[in-house]
Structure formats: C-alpha cells, structure tokens
Chains A and B, each alone.
Chain A
Amino acid sequence: MTDTKTMLTLRVNGDPHTFAAEPHHTLLEVLREELDLTGTKHGCELGECGACTVLADGVPILSCLTLPQQVAHADITTVEGLAKGPQLHPLQTAFAEEGAAQCGYCTPGILLSAKALLDANPRPTRDEIAQAISGNLCRCTGYTAIYEAIEKAAEMSAKAAQRV
C-alpha cells in the first residue's frame, strides 16, 4: 500500500476543491473517488473509449489519461456541471427527447464532446457532429439518435438566442 498522498486543488464545475490524493492517480480517479463526482464514467482507462471525457477550459480531454496536476489551473466541467441549477442544458433536454441515451454510460462523455462542439460551432453539419464525437464509443444507439439530439439542441439554443 502506498501512502504518498499530496494536496491538490482543482476547480470543478465552478467550485474549488482541495483534497489529498496519490500523485499517480488520474483525473478520472480523483473526480470519482476523491470528489464523489461519479457522473464521469470509465470504460477502459486506456484512452480508447471516450467515456471519461471532461472539459478543461472548454476543451474535451480524456480524464483517464490526464493527471490532475496537468489541469491544476484549468476550469474543469463534468456532466454534473452541465445544468445551470435547475435549468437543464439544451443538450440534456434534446438527448432525453430523442432517446439519445440508452444505457447512459457513454452519455456523460458524449454530452461534453457535444457541448465543446456547439460552443465552438453553434450550427454544425452532421459530418461535423460525427467528427466531434468520433472519440466517444457508444455501444447502444448506432449514433443516429445522438446526431438528431445534437442538431435539436443546436436549434433550441439558436431559438433561445433569438428570443433574447
């Protein structure tokens, strides 16, 4: 048993967290085990499946291949930070309506890849969507419902922007 924990501070979903962790533990392990943010999933812990995707300063990263020290100064967003208070993100609403989450296990990673896409490109084509989520394996849906949900979320966001 190792006992070489060091203190770390991370900013996750807007909140600062200070905690002790083994220095070789990945961002994925730290999020799930030290911060209890179990919404971030693991499918391989080898960077192959994309289930552990989170955002660092808005950019999708694989938390299973990232050490917390690498993102010590970044704003981390996990699936738990997608909704703003009681207000769901349009992606969450659209995924529910289009049946884009079946077992839900790849869903947190895909939601974050999709958020990064829409933040950079509010009206993506289907090819651009396919490209953006190509690092996230889904074993249930065949991806079609996911494309439809992301397109719907883009529309919802555009309509909301018009109203403002």
Chain B
Amino acid sequence: MSELSILGRRLPKVNAWAHLTGSARYADDIRLPRMLYGRLLRSTRPHALIKRIDISRALAYPGVVAVVTGADMPEKMGIMPSTQDETALAVDKVRYVGEPVAGVAALDEDAAYEALSLIDVEYEDLEPIFTIEEALDRDDVKIHDTSKRANVFKEVHLSFGDVEGGFAKADHVREDWFFFEGNTHAPIESHSAVASYDADGKLTLWTSTQVPHYLHREMEKVLGLPRTRIRVIATPNGGAFGGKSDPFGHEFAAALLSMRTKRPVKITLDREEVFYAHRGRHPVKMRIKTGVKKDGEITAVEFQSYLDGGAYASYGIATTYYTGALLTVTYRVPAYKFDGVRVYTNKPPCGPKRGHGTTQPRYAFECQLDKIAMDLGLDPIEYRLRILQPANSRTVNELRVTSMGLGECLRALRDRTSWERKRSERTKGKGIGVAGSAYISGAGLPIYWNDMPHSGAEIRIDRGGGVTVMCGTSEIGQGSDNLLAAIAAEALGVYPEDVHVVSGDTSLTPVDLGSYSSRVTMMAGNATKNAGLKLREQLVTVAAEKLGIPADRVNLAYRKVYDLKDPERSMSFVEAANLAEAKYGTLVGAGSYRPPAGIGGNYKGAGVGPTPAYSYQAAVAEVTVDLETGQLTVDKITTAHDCGRALNPVNVEGQVEGSAYMGYGEIVVEEQIFRGGLHKKPSLLDYKLPTSLDTPKLETILIESVDSEGPYGAKEAGEGPLNPVIPAIANAVYDAIGVRFDETPITAEKILDALGKRDNRGITKDRIGPTGLGDGKADPKRAMRRLEASTEARERKKTQV
C-alpha cells in the first residue's frame, strides 16, 4: 500500500462547521407544520399497582389533542430480544419513580404540561426494593414475576482453567471487596423525538438515538406497523455516552400520538426526566480474590459481581457478562472463575455507560493489583509490565488478542510523568498512581442473533467527482460522520470535503448496528473501506487503460489518478470517474463487515467479550489531598492509549481527554443515588458535572500498534480510556495518604473519616469500603416506612396550601 494521504492528519471534522455556526439540526430543533407538543406523565411511586387511569379531564383541557396510556401499547419491548420486560408506557404496574405512565399531545407545550396534572392515576403501593441485598433475599416481594429466585434478573457462572490448583500454587493470596457507585451519562442534549405519521400511512421518526436500526425493529413490534412503513432517522446526538442506546417510552409515545392525531408530534425530555431515563452505570459490589507467586505472576483469579440493575433489563444480560469477561485480556491469568448476578430494584434502569460493565471490575482489579505490588514490594508500573498478556494470544476464557500495546503505554507514561522521581518523593498529601485497562473495538456479536453483516456502507460517485457515503451509524459527537468521510476519501484519493455523508437513516443507509460498544471505527470503518476499494478498483482499471500503464502502478490521491513511477502521467479524479461510469454504469460500491469467526469460545456466555481487536490504555494520576479539609484535587491525568492507528489524531485525543474527564467525574463527585426511591440529585445543580475549574490538567499519549484487523490498523478510542483513570486516582490517593478507597466516589467526607477528622474521636482508618454483602433482611419495612412518611408529609403540605 502506498502511504496514506488523508488518514493520520490533523484535519477538522467534516461536520464541524454545522456545529460551529448553529446550523446542525438536533431533534429538538426540528419543527414541522401543524406539529403538536407532547409530554409524559411519570410515576410518583417506586413500586405500585396502577388501579385506574382517568384521562378524561386531561382530554377536555383546551389545546389537548390526544392522550395515550400504557394500555394503548401493551407489547413488551427492550433492547435485548431475550429479556424484554418493558412496555413503552407502564401497564398495570410501575417500578420506579419517573417511569412514564401516559403521554399527552397538545397545541403547545404549556397546554401539554398543564394537562399532565389532570390525568388521574390511582396507585396501590407495593413494598419497594432498593438495595442489592434486599433484592437477593426478599422472595416475598417480586418486582418482576419472571424472577425465579427473589429479584434476580440474571445469574452467570463461568470457570476456566484449574482455579483451585492455581490458588494452591500461590505464595500470596489477596481477597478484597469493592463497591462502585452508580452514575449517569448526563449528555447536555436531553432526549428528543419527532414523529410524523403521514397521509400515505408511513411513519418517520427523527430521534436522538445511538441505535436507529434496533429502534426500527422495536417500533415495528410495539406499534404493529410493518417496518416497511417506518423510517427512523438518527439526528446528531448532543452527547450520548451509552444513554441513548435503548428504545425509550417517549419515542413510542410520540409515534403513537402522531398516528392518532395524523399530525407531527415532538417530545423532548426535560433535564429531570433525563435522570429517570438513565440506563447509566450500574452500582456494583465486587469480591475479588487473586493468587500470585513471589514474583507477582498471577496463578488464579476469582471474581464475583453483584449488579444493581434498577427496574428493567436494558442491556443487563450483556452488562453482567461484561463485568467478568475482560479481566483476562490485560495480564496473564491462567485460571479464572467468575460469578455474576444482576438484580432488579425499584430505581431507574441501569444500562450501558462508556466502558459498559468493564469500568467497575477494572477499578477493583487495578486497585487490588496495586495492593499486591505493595505487598510484594514491587513498583506498580514495573509489576504490570512483568505480567502482560502477550500480543497475538488467547486468554484463559478463549478471547483472541491481536495487537497489544499496554506495555508501550506503561513505558511511555513512566517516561512522560517522571514516575520514578515522583514516586520516590514522599510528601504526605501528594500522590501518584497508575492503572491499566483494555476495551473492545465493537462487540463480537449483534444484539439479535443473525448471520448478516454488522455494518454496511454504500458509496456513490457523481459526475462532478462528488462522493456520497451512506452508512447506518449514528453521529453522537464521537466523530463517526467524519470517520466515514475520511476513510472514503482515503480509499478513493479525494479530500474529506469532497464527501457527503448520509448516516443513521433506516430508509437511505445500509444497516449498521449503531454507535455503541466502540464499534464504529472497526466495523463501519472496515465496511466503508471495503466499499471504497471496490470503486477504486474500477477507477484504477480505466485509468490504467487510458494512461497505458499496468494497474499496479496506478495510485489515487489528492483528486488525482496517476502513475506511481511518473506522477506527471495523470488524470483528474473526475475524468477517471467519468471514464469508469462510461465503462461500468452508475458508480456504486457497497461494502460490509462482520467480525471474523473464532475470536471467542463456544461456551454459554462466550458471546460477550470477543471483539475483532482490543484497545489498550493506561493512566497516571497525580493528586493532592488537603489533610485539613479532606479536599481531593486531581492535579493531572496522563493517559496513554493504544488506538492501533490514529486515523485523525485530533479526534482520538479528544476521545481520550473526554474519557479522562468523565472518569475523573465518576470517582470524585458523580453519583446517582436515591432516598426512599426518590432520586436525590435530579438536576445539574445537585448532580455535579466537573466544570472547567474542576477538571484536572489532561495529557494524552497515542500509541500506534497498527492492528491487523482494524481499518488501516485502527482500533477504538471512545470508551477504554475512561477505565484506567478511576483506579489510577484511587491508587494515587493511597500514595498520598495511605488510605485505600475501595468504594467510589472518593468524597471529602470519606477522606476526613479515614483521617479521623470527621468527628472528634480521631479514629483513623486505612481503608474505606465494603467488607461483604450487607444484610438483606435487617429491617425489611424500613424503606416502606420512609416512603409512607414522605408521602404523608407531601399530602400534609398539599392540604395546607
């Protein structure tokens, strides 16, 4: 292959100009003639039967055009076909505060909002379940009747290699418990959907979604409208991070309201509703036991995860497996046992957030490895370098590893951060810590079983030399449109600005499974490359004929088609395209990509974990702890990321920095927490996102291992870099004050507690974190009493007014 002309360069994104001039059209920016405004009524009860819904007063309110309830769409839905346990709007029962119950469409938003208070819902409260322990123990309360044991959603048990023998061989065994608190995506754009059911009986849905194809399937199922009459268009997402990859109630409600009224309907969630839509990071309790030889070589790992799933399935089956699947791909683990259980609780459903299911166990494992390094008197970077999983290998759970740049990442960090010097300076309150990680470049299997490609792309060349690339990916800000343009431009020898991108439209674009699991660069990238290379071949053939040279001497770059030996002998790209169209007919190239077979095992559960290639990354965090106030300041995060090849370094760095920022937020401040089933922080004032003044100095080092499977060698960059930041900060805090934080977030209050300064007793602690599962039956009626007390107080307040 000749050298690359476009990829690898620091070019502006092709869609940057729309973002920077205010002309990008997000879902809520769409306004159609005769459009109605919709809003959803949400449950005020965490767990209750719906005895009666009366919509008559709402329907009579001036300006209200239609009202729909759960009974209008009783079909079960959900992102994973095997665990569909949701309905678009609640039917007969609500399972969390904030669950959508009814939808209103009105002439304006004010009227829709007013009408919500006129829908009369009679609830009969059921005892709620709020904790993992209660959910595991309480057989007498069922959130879903489908749970065989108590409120268990899914239980998985896997074992690989000789685990018992591994521990018997160990010189040192550590066992630790960890807790990772839940948190949410909080994209700045709230979810929004516009539905238009037209006179021809066809429905178009513009929506801020990461998964237009999966949503297309669910719309058919729930609305009973054939897919041939539904078109889903993913609008540019104003941030997503996994939070827009489920089908949501408001999307179906907008569609049904439009079908009922024969007018377009828009529903945009407000900020509080986004916290209820959630599908964010699962709270997870973890027990991890690792055996090592004297030199640190791992002999066996045993890992247990307890996931608090919230009220519904979402991607939960995959999340549960992901907590166990990827612990083996970074360091050599010859024997591994994994037990995972996800439970239902009466809280908004948890789902995939950046790092999906791997973030929590990675935190636990990397904190434990830091402890092991201390136990053995080893430097944490040197220790990790000794036990690396090799490139081009298989893990004990049969995952195929191709390129593996974790070693380069760690070495680069050691140099760049002056690690050895800073590590040897022992200043109380100042610390430096490290952690490694890995992530998938796209899930090895689709969400519904099929043999078709995971991604398809189509490229056309017009008579003026313009190139159009069409692919079902969703632009969520990660730069997927630019990626498609850059790869098409590279394959055809034009500039990205010559490429028009059509993405995420189920009527126009070949299926791509969506912008989740960091799959776009690998899968849509390969599909686009394949489509481009087919057209390139036609252009090369006609140019070789015309220039009178052999085909292998023809190159395409910079809008020229030329002889590699004598570049003066050339023609323009347009000329070559016109010759090719004359010879072959309309110039259309289609390409597709499906992950290769044999990248994972054949056991039950082997579908989660395999990927065409793993990205690798490591982070070093430098922190300062104020010993008087307990304030934790993260001074700097340096991340080294093996992205295979940086197709556009500006974009890759942006993904790495954004990940570091988000990881920082998760361990220092962000938590999605509840009291009596009520979200404690459903606003951006209370749920604090790091501002520019909070965010540490971020530095990025890109490592290019040039992967054999990736398009032009590229792997993912959007999710993996979040993972190492969290344990690196926890390990740095230990380095600073000698306290292990085996639970997140690390708040000032917890630091003061550890330093013996939270109260007057002065008792210091060397560790903050769980010591096991709590008692699920300690006081089963406590939550109920709390709920009743808060309801009574609310009622009292109402009657006083």
Contact = CB atoms under 8 A, between A and B. Distances in A.
Given A43-B271, A46-B685, A51-B188, A142 B110 contact: no
B650 interface: yes
Contact of A104 (B63, B110, B238, B695): B238
A147 B271 CA distance: 27
Nearest to B696: A142
B386 interface: no
B8 interface: no
Contacts of B236: 103-104
Interface residues of A, number: 58
A45 B239 contact: no
Interface of chain B: mostly helix, strand, loop or mixed: loop
Contact of B12 (A48, A96, A140): A96
B63 A1 contact: yes
A98 B238 contact: no
Nearest to B186: A139
Contacts of B479: 102
Contacts of B795: none
B654 interface: yes
A145 B61 CA distance: 49
B24 A2 contact: no
A104 B20 contact: yes
Contacts of B189: 41, 43, 103, 105
B26 interface: yes
A111 B695 contact: no
A102 B654 contact: yes
A142 B663 CA distance: 10
B684 to A, nearest CB: 4
B270 interface: yes
A79 B31 CA distance: 19
B660 A41 contact: no
A100 B478 CA distance: 12
Contacts of B16: 95-96, 101
B51 to A, nearest CB: 30
Nearest to A142: B661
A39 interface: yes
Interface in A60-107: 78-80, 82-83, 88, 92, 95-99, 101-107
A45 B658 contact: no
Contacts of B110: 1-2, 22
B786 interface: no
Contacts of B188: 41, 43, 49, 51, 103, 105-106, 137-139
B134 interface: no
A19 B359 CA distance: 51
A36 B23 CA distance: 11
A33 B110 CA distance: 13
Interface stretch (B363-371, B620-628, B686-694): B686-694
A39 B478 contact: no
A138 B691 CA distance: 8
Contacts of A157: none
A105 B187 contact: yes
B691 A101 contact: no
A103 B476 contact: yes
A158 to B, nearest CB: 21
A133 B24 CA distance: 22
A142 B693 contact: no
A18 to B, nearest CB: 20
Given A22-B110, A106-B188, A46 B683 contact: yes
Nearest to B22: A39
A82 B19 CA distance: 13
A13 to B, nearest CB: 10
Contacts of A9: none
Nearest to A22: B110
B239 A139 contact: yes
B602 interface: no
B657 interface: yes
A44 interface: yes
Interface in B434-484: 476-479
Contact of B22 (A80, A97, A98): A80
B23 A39 contact: yes
B495 interface: no
B124 interface: no
A46 B658 contact: no
B377 interface: no
A8 interface: no
A1 to B, nearest CB: 3
A46 B684 contact: yes
B196 interface: no
B477 A43 contact: no
A37 interface: yes
Contact of B685 (A48, A51, A83): A48
B669 interface: no
Interface string A22-40: 1000000000110011111
Contacts of A41: 26, 188-189, 238
A103 B110 CA distance: 29
B201 interface: no
Nearest 4 interchain pairs by C-beta: A39-B22, A103-B477, A104-B19, A105-B238
Interface of B: 10, 12-13, 15-26, 28-29, 31, 61-63, 106-108, 110-111, 185-190, 236-241, 270-271, 476-479, 650-651, 653-654, 657-662, 683-685, 689, 691-693, 695, 697-698
Given A42-B28, A105-B187, A108-B22, 19 more contacts: A1-B106, A1-B107, A1-B111, A39-B21, A41-B188, A41-B238, A43-B189, A43-B271, A46-B685, A79-B21, A97-B10, A99-B654, A101-B13, A104-B238, A105-B477, A107-B19, A136-B692, A142-B657, A142-B660
11 contacts: A1-B107, A32-B29, A95-B20, A101-B16, A104-B15, A105-B187, A111-B20, A140-B477, A140-B654, A143-B661, A143-B695
